C-alpha cells in the first residue's frame, strides 16, 4: 500500500496473505464533496479472504466515508472499489454493513429481522439459517420478541446476525460496539468471532477503541486526516482468541497508539501535538 509504514508483530504472515487474491481492493480512491472538502485522497487497500482489518484514526479522517464508498452507499470522486473483481457502484448482496445503531425494523420480531435479507431462499433453508444464527448469538429463546423488548447489546447482536446470515463476502462494521458498556462490548466481540468462524467473511472494522482493534483484527490500519489517507499498518498476533492482559496484546496497543499519535502530527515538520489535537482520535 503506497505511503504506508509497516510494523510487524507475531501473528499472520504477510507473505502468506499476499499469496492469496484479495477479496476487497480499494484502488486510488478519493472523495471530494460539493463544497470542495476533500474527504479522502489516494486510498489503496487490499483485504484478503477471511482477513479482519481494523481502521482507526483521528476524527474527520474519513473512516466512515471510506466504508460508505465500499458499501456502495456513496459515489467516489476518483478511483474504484472492487469485490471479487466486480466494481462496486451501489449496494451489493456480497457486501454487508453493520452500523453503530442496530437499525432493527420495529414491526418485525427478532427472527424476521435476522432473516430480512433472505427473501430469496426457500422456507426450510430460510428457517435453518435464522435458527442457526440466533443460536450462535445466544438469542434463540428470543426469536418471537420485538426489538423494543431487547437490551441495547441484544439488539446489536441481532443486527450482527442479520448481516452474517446472508453469508456476505465482505462485511463492513462501522463502530458497532461504541455505544455499549465494556462488559457487553467484550461479550459481543466473542459473538462476532463466533459468527465469523462459520464462513470467515472478509471484515473491515471502523473503531475508536484501540484495544478492540487489537483484539479482533489481523491488521490495524491507521488513517491520517485532512485529507483522509492511509498512514501506517500494524500487523497483529498471535491468532485469536487473544488475551487482553497478555504482554504481546499490550505491546500491540502501544504500537497502535504511537502510530495514532504520529498520524496527528503535521506531515512536514514533526512538531509536538497541541493539547486539543492530542485528544481528537478518541
pLDDT digit string (tens) for the chain, length 282 residues: 434 434 433 334 444 455 578 999 999 999 999 998 999 999 999 999 999 999 999 888 999 999 999 999 999 999 999 999 999 999 999 999 999 888 999 999 999 999 998 877 888 888 999 999 999 888 999 999 999 999 988 999 999 999 999 999 999 999 988 888 888 888 888 889 988 988 899 999 999 999 999 999 999 999 999 899 999 999 997 778 888 888 888 999 999 999 999 998 875 444 444 444 443 444
Count CA atoms closer than 13 A to 127's CA, side-chain side: 2
Q: Which residues contact 141 (CB under 8 A, 6 or more apart)?
A: none
Q: What's the pLDDT score for residue 17? A: 52
Q: How far apart are CA 117 and CA 103, in angstroms?
A: 14
Assess whether 135 and 188 both reside in one domain. no
Assess whether 113 and 226 both reside in one domain. no
Q: Which residues contact 212 (CB under 8 A, 6 or more apart)?
A: 54, 177, 185, 189
Domain boundary, last residue among 167, 194, 210: 167
Assess whether 175 and 160 both reside in one domain. no
Assess whether 193 and 89 both reside in one domain. yes
In a domain, 228, yes or no: yes
Asked if residues 158 and 112 have their Cβ atoms less than 8 Å apart, the reply is no
In a domain, 99, yes or no: no
Assess whether 177 and 252 both reside in one domain. yes
Assess whether 72 and 186 both reside in one domain. yes
Asked if residues 205 and 216 have their Cβ atoms less than 8 Å apart, the reply is yes
The pTM assigned to this predicted structure is 0.85
Assess whether 128 and 255 both reside in one domain. no
Residue 217's domain is classified under what CATH number?
A: 3.40.50.300
Q: What's the pLDDT score for residue 60? A: 84
In a domain, 23, yes or no: yes
By three-state DSSP, how is residue 216 classified? helix
Q: What's the pLDDT score for residue 282? A: 42
CA 124 to chain centre: 31
Asked if residues 182 and 212 have their Cβ atoms less than 8 Å apart, the reply is no
In a domain, 148, yes or no: yes
Domain boundary, last residue among 127, 152, 167: 167
Q: Which residues contact 219 (CB under 8 A, 6 or more apart)?
A: 51, 53, 54, 233, 234, 235, 236
> DSSP character for 228?
B
Assess whether 141 and 17 both reside in one domain. no
Q: What's the pLDDT score for residue 177? A: 87
Q: What's the pLDDT score for residue 267? A: 59
Domain boundary, last residue among 167, 192, 210: 167
Assess whether 179 and 89 both reside in one domain. yes
Strand 38-47 relative to strand 52-57, pairing: unpaired
In a domain, 16, yes or no: yes
Q: Which domain holds residue 151?
A: 104-167
Assess whether 194 and 177 both reside in one domain. yes
Assess whether 123 and 85 both reside in one domain. no
Strands (E), the chain: 5-7, 24-32, 38-47, 52-57, 78-83, 86-87, 95-98, 170-174, 202-206, 219-224, 229-235
Domains: count for the chain: 2
Model confidence pLDDT, tens digit, residues 123-157: 888 899 999 999 988 899 999 999 999 998 899 99
Assess whether 241 and 181 both reside in one domain. yes
Amino acid at each position: 500500500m503506497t505511503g504506508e509504514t509497516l510494523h510487524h508483530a507475531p501473528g499472520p504472515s504477510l507473505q502468506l496473505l499476499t499469496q492469496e487474491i484479495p477479496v476487497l481492493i480499494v484502488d486510488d480512491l478519493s472523495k471530494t464533496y460539493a463544497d470542495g472538502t476533500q474527504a479522502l485522497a489516494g486510498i489503496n487497500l487490499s483485504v484478503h479472504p477471511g482477513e479482519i482489518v481494523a481502521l482507526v484514526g483521528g476524527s474527520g479522517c474519513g473512516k466512515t466515508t471510506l466504508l460508505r464508498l465500499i458499501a456502495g452507499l456513496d459515489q467516489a470522486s476518483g478511483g474504484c472499489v472492487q469485490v471479487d473483481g466486480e466494481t462496486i457502484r451501489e449496494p451489493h448482496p456480497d457486501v454487508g454493513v453493520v452500523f453503530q445503531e442496530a437499525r432493527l425494523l420495529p414491526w418485525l420480531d427478532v427472527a424476521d429481522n435476522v432473516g430480512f435479507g433472505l427473501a430469496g431462499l426457500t422456507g426450510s433453508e430460510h428457517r435453518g439459517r435464522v435458527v442457526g444464527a440466533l443460536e450462535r448469538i445466544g438469542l434463540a429463546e428470543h426469536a418471537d420478541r420485538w426489538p423494543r423488548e431487547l437490551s441495547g447489546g441484544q439488539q446489536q447482536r441481532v443486527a450482527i446476525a442479520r448481516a452474517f446470515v446472508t453469508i456476505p463476502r465482505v462485511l463492513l462494521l462501522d463502530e458497532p460496539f461504541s455505544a455499549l458498556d465494556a462488559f457487553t462490548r467484550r461479550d459481543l466481540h466473542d459473538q462476532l468471532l463466533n459468527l465469523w468462524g462459520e464462513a470467515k467473511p472478509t471484515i473491515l472494522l471502523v473503531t475508536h477503541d484501540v484495544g478492540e482493534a487489537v483484539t479482533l483484527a489481523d491488521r490495524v490500519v491507521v488513517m491520517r486526516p485532512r485529507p483522509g489517507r492511509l498512514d501506517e499498518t500494524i500487523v497483529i498476533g498471535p491468532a485469536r482468541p487473544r488475551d487482553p492482559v497478555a504482554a504481546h496484546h499490550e505491546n500491540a496497543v502501544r504500537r497502535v497508539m504511537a502510530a495514532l499519535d504520529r498520524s496527528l502530527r503535521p506531515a512536514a515538520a514533526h512538531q509536538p501535538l497541541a493539547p486539543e489535537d492530542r485528544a481528537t482520535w478518541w
